[in-house]
Each structure stands twice: as C-alpha cells, then as structure tokens.
Structure 1
Amino acid sequence: MFFAVYVVVPIFRSIWISFYEWDGLSAATWIGVANYRELLSDDAFYTSLYNNILWLVLYLLAVPAGLGVALFLNQTVTGIRLYKSLFFFPFVISQVVVGLIFTWFYAPNFGLFSKLIEDITGQQIAILGDERFVTFGIIAAGLWPQIAYCMILYLTGLNNINPEQVEAARMDGAKGWSMLWNIVIPQLRPATFIAVVVTVIGALRSFDLVSIMTDGGPYGSSRVLSFYMYEEALSEYGYRMGYGAAIAVVLFAIMMIFITFFIFRMLRQERNT
C-alpha cells in the first residue's frame, strides 16, 4: 500500500504531467509530446545527459574500489579497528558536509588539492571553476562516501562466505587471484547486485553535491538531469512543471534500463551456474 502511494502513483503522475504545460498553480494545458520534442533541441538537456552518463561510468568505480577496501579490512592486522573507522567515516556524514569539505579541498589559494597541483605544475587550477574539470571534481567527491557504502556491503558479504568452499579450494591449491575470482567473488554476487543498484541510483540522483558545490556552474557545465529538472520545475527561473516532469521521465527511463540490464545479467549467470 505504502509502496503504491509513495512510489508507483508518483511515477505515473510524473509521466502524466510531462504531457502538460503547467506552472504548478494555474490550470494545466495538454500539449502532448511537445515537452519531449523541446528536449531534443535543448543544449542544456544534452549537457546534463552527458554529465549523467559520465557520472554513471565513473561512479561504478566505487564497486571494485569498495571490494578492494573490504578485502583489506577483512584481514587480521594490527590497528584494523582504526582502519575500519577511518574508511567507515565518509558513510556516516551527510552529502552536504561532503560537498563542503571538497569545496574547501579544491579551493584556490588555500585548498590542499590546489596547493598540491601548484607544487607539481607551478600553477593553480580552480577545479570547480573550470568547465573541463568541474564534473570530474564533483564525481570524485561523490565517490568518497559511495566507496565506503560499497565497502560495508562487501564486508557483510565476506562474513557470509562459506568457509568450507574456501578450505576445499585451498586444498586444491587455489590462492591469490584464483581464489578471489573463482571462490570469493561468485559468493559475493548478492552484495555486488545491491552495490551496483545503489551506485547507479546514486549516480543518477546526484543533485545534492552539484547544488552544494557549484549550483550547476560554471555556465551550467556541471548540471545533471536531476539538477536541471529542479531548475526547470521548482527554481525561480522555471516553474515549468511539465518540462521538469519530462526530464524526470527520461532520468527514470535511464535508471530502469541500467538496473534491468544488470538484473537480467545476474539471472543469466545464476542459471548458468
């Protein structure tokens, strides 16, 4: 019941609104697919779409990175509790705080990253003020807590690995990469599935970091679809609910394509095994 009210109904309602011209207050006017036709000639939409694809590709690095950190933290070494606390820390702080931390980190003149680049190249680079680098800088900020989240999922999965299979593989001479690829990773498929799904969703709803760090700038070059949807539908520059809903529908379609593809791939692998 709650799923229908808070998820299913809003999805179909957004699709319905996308066929209207509506400012959220006055009567809505049916315009058919005009909003979608406008998207096809909207440069800002293509910039946002390109940035979202970039987010998707690079954000998925959080999955193997999280696995690598989890494998390290699953070892018995001196000070492992301290290491776990340090790697877990990004997960418990809000995205707003992450955005502020990295904004200071990239800041010219006093930011640590800016100083490091200056020491290496002899000149400073304003990451968040340069159209070439701004999206990569925001993605790097998002990867910090996302790797921590994937790490937690994999640590849980590693605790549920069948020790008998591991011991049998050791008796057969498996070790290192062979053990990881043939024994450990197949048993981590449930954790991998969840990690990929939440990472894809996180990449596509990357509104908060963009809003905090650049507000879509410079010159709209760091916009993503979720932020552009907000600008068109809810900001003082827009109030175009129908156009914003059309952007939301495109965003939802991209998300469903990626997640459905991965679900079918997982099911096919399960049948083959």
Structure 2
Amino acid sequence: MTEIQVLSNSRRRTGSTFLRKHQLIIAPVAFITPAFAMFSLFVIYPIIQSIGLSFVEWQGIGPQTWVGLDNYRELLGDPVFWKALTNNVYWLVLFLLAPVLGLFIALFLNQNVFGIRLVKSLFFFPFVVSQIVVGLVFAWFYDPAFGLLATMLEPLGVKFPAILSNENWATFGIILAGLWPQTAYCMILYLTGLNSVNPEVIEAARLDGAKGWRLLVNIVLPQLRAATFIAVVVTIIGALRSFDLVAIMTGGGPYNSSNVLAYYMYDNAIFRYRMGYASAIATILFLIMDLYIAWFLMRLLKNEKGSR
C-alpha cells in the first residue's frame, strides 16, 4: 500500500468519524437550512425593509427622502392613528371571547350522540367561509331596511338601528362578525385537544368527587394547555391584523370611527401614496404583536416551570 492510499484512507476515516460525532447537529441543520433561507427571504427581509422605509418619505416610485423619525412624530399627533389603535384594543379584548366560546362549544360537541356529526359540520362551516363572504353576509344582516334582523324585528314593532352607519356601534358590529369564524377556529383546536385528553384521569377525578366546573378547571383545562396557547396566540394576531371585514363592511368609516391600524396602513400606502408613513404604522403594529406574544410566551414558560 502506497503512502497516498494510506493518507486517503485516514482522511475517509476521519471524515466518517466527524460525521458520526456530529450527526445530531448536522442532520437538523441540513433540514432547517432550506426552510430558514426561504423564511429569511420572504419574511425577515421584508420586515427589515419595511422598518427601513418608515424612516423615509416615498410615494412608491421615484427617489426616497430621508426624514428620520418624522413619520413617528406625525403618528403621535394623528387623531386617526389613535382612533385606529383604540379600535384595535377593542378588537383584542373582545376577540378573546373566541377561545372561551370555542371551548364551551367544543365541550358541547364532544359527545357520542346521534346527529352530532351534522351539528359539528354546521359549527365548522364559518371556518371555511371567506372573510369577504362573512363581511357581505353580516352587512346584509345589519341592513336597517332590508336586512334579516330588521325583517325579523319589524313585526314586533322594533326598529333595528343602522349599526354600520353609527360611529359608536360600527366597530362592535364588525367585531361580532369577526367572532363568528374565529370561534369556529378555536372550537376546532379544542375538539382536537379533547381527543388527546386522558380518559383514565377524568374517570379517576370523578371517582374522587370532582365534577362540573371543578373537573373542567382542574383536570380538563391543564390537558388542553397546548390548544389554549395556539388559540390565544392566533386570536390575538387575528385581532391585531384585522383588515378584511373592515375593508368590506365600512371601509374604516363612518368618519374613521371603525378604522384599525392594518386598514389605516393600507389606506396610506395605496390611496395616499405615503409608503413611509404606512411603514411606520406597520412597524408600530409589528412591535405591539411582538411585545404581546413575548409576554404571553414568558408567562406560559413560567407556568410550565411552576407546574414541574
């Protein structure tokens, strides 16, 4: 055997030994790298680009003018921005009803009785319907002249108010429309979670005298922690990025009373050609989402450590 063959064999052994020692690191990295590259290209890079645009004045075409923090200073004195932010808070608070309603509907549907599959499909239906369709349907419901609710109340002598034309009620009417499909989504998450609940633990708790609310809080809900986490996070993100229903039902009106940050960003970017100002709004919305989700994750991890 020549000296060259000895060297090549030793290199092969060294390479194979290196792969064996580090296979638990190399294999995950090999699988994650393509996905991370795509995520960086289509998510991280646009976020960085949007934050950069918030410091310039730009109409979408032509040269960009550096303005520093002027867009953010203008936001502080913009009453429409504060109204949109307030409406987003309303969305956030009221949308958290969706996980609660979804949980109780899931508990109701998690039964083995005749016809329950048909009932499940009826509750599942809002989830597969487009947000545009939901907006059009509820706009028809709310119509004070020819809407379904007005037609039902007319024989009773009750005049149904024009909800979407009322500055005080438009936002809440849209939120109610958004709760319909969001509750269906949370219901699906909890139905999936209930399939993984340990029946032996439930039976043991019943033998110990636990039932009703006590059984739900102390036995069932701890086993639904993963479903609750997903339901709450998705609901929060859906509330903060609410756009479709506002655009379809009111267009932010009347008089910007139902405007939200996502729609106000869209309005400034598309109709007013203020890309920098719209990017500043997007950055604020992005920071709000990040702060809330980070707080929720820290609280969840703290609870996980405390339960061990």
Q: Give the TM-score, by structure 1 length.
A: 0.96
The alpha-carbon deviation at position 233 of structure 1 amounts to 0.9
2:110 is the counterpart of 1:74:
yes
Q: Corresponding residue for 2:61?
A: 25
What stretches of structure 1 of length at least 5 have no aligned partner? none
Q: Distance in 1 between matches of 2:293 and 2:153?
A: 38
Counterpart residue identity of residue 211, structure 1 = A
Cα distance change, pair 201–117 in 1 and its aligned pair in 2 (3 A): farther
Q: Corresponding residue for 2:258?
A: 222
Q: Corresponding residue for 2:228?
A: 192
Q: Corresponding residue for 1:83?
A: 119
Q: How does 1:1-273 map to 2 (within 5 A)?
A: 1-116=37-152, 122-235=158-271, 238-273=272-307
Cα distance change, pair 53–120 in 1 and its aligned pair in 2 (3 A): farther
Aligned residues of 2:58 and 2:274 also touching (Cα < 8 A): yes
Q: Distance in 2 between matches of 1:168 and 1:26?
A: 70
Deviation per residue, 1:231-272 (Å, 9 max, x gap): 10112xx11000000000011111112111111111111111
Q: Distance in 1 between matches of 2:76 and 2:155?
A: 44
Count of residue pairs brought into register by the alignment: 271
The alpha-carbon deviation at position 34 of structure 1 amounts to 0.3
* SS of alignment partner, residue 150 of structure 1: helix
Aligned residues of 1:114 and 1:126 also touching (Cα < 8 A): no
* SS of alignment partner, residue 81 of structure 2: helix
Counterpart residue identity of residue 277, structure 2 = Y
Aligned residues of 1:153 and 1:191 also touching (Cα < 8 A): yes
The alpha-carbon deviation at position 121 of structure 1 amounts to 7.0
Cα distance change, pair 225–117 in 1 and its aligned pair in 2 (3 A): farther
Aligned residues of 1:117 and 1:125 also touching (Cα < 8 A): no
Aligned-pair RMSD on alpha carbons?
1.2
Cα distance change, pair 109–14 in 1 and its aligned pair in 2 (3 A): same
What stretches of structure 2 of length at least 5 have no aligned partner? 1-36
Counterpart residue identity of residue 24, structure 1 = G
Q: Give the TM-score, by structure 2 length.
A: 0.86
Q: Distance in 2 between matches of 1:173 and 1:62?
A: 30
Cα distance change, pair 120–41 in 1 and its aligned pair in 2 (3 A): farther
Cα distance change, pair 140–217 in 1 and its aligned pair in 2 (3 A): same
Worse-matched range after superposition: 37-46 or 68-77: 68-77
Cα distance change, pair 2–196 in 1 and its aligned pair in 2 (3 A): same
* SS of alignment partner, residue 234 of structure 1: helix
Aligned residues of 2:124 and 2:184 also touching (Cα < 8 A): yes
Counterpart residue identity of residue 135, structure 1 = T
Counterpart residue identity of residue 271, structure 1 = K
Cα distance change, pair 262–116 in 1 and its aligned pair in 2 (3 A): farther
Aligned residues of 2:246 and 2:263 also touching (Cα < 8 A): yes
Deviation per residue, 1:148-179 (Å, 9 max, x gap): 00000000000011222112212211111111
Counterpart residue identity of residue 283, structure 2 = V
Cα distance change, pair 29–121 in 1 and its aligned pair in 2 (3 A): farther
Q: Distance in 2 between matches of 1:29 and 1:121?
A: 60
Deviation per residue, 1:54-89 (Å, 9 max, x gap): 000001100100000000000223321111011000
The alpha-carbon deviation at position 48 of structure 1 amounts to 0.4
Q: Distance in 2 between matches of 1:117 and 1:130?
A: 19
* SS of alignment partner, residue 186 of structure 1: helix
The alpha-carbon deviation at position 112 of structure 1 amounts to 1.9
Aligned residues of 2:149 and 2:160 also touching (Cα < 8 A): no
Larger radius of gyration: 2
Aligned residues of 1:24 and 1:241 also touching (Cα < 8 A): yes
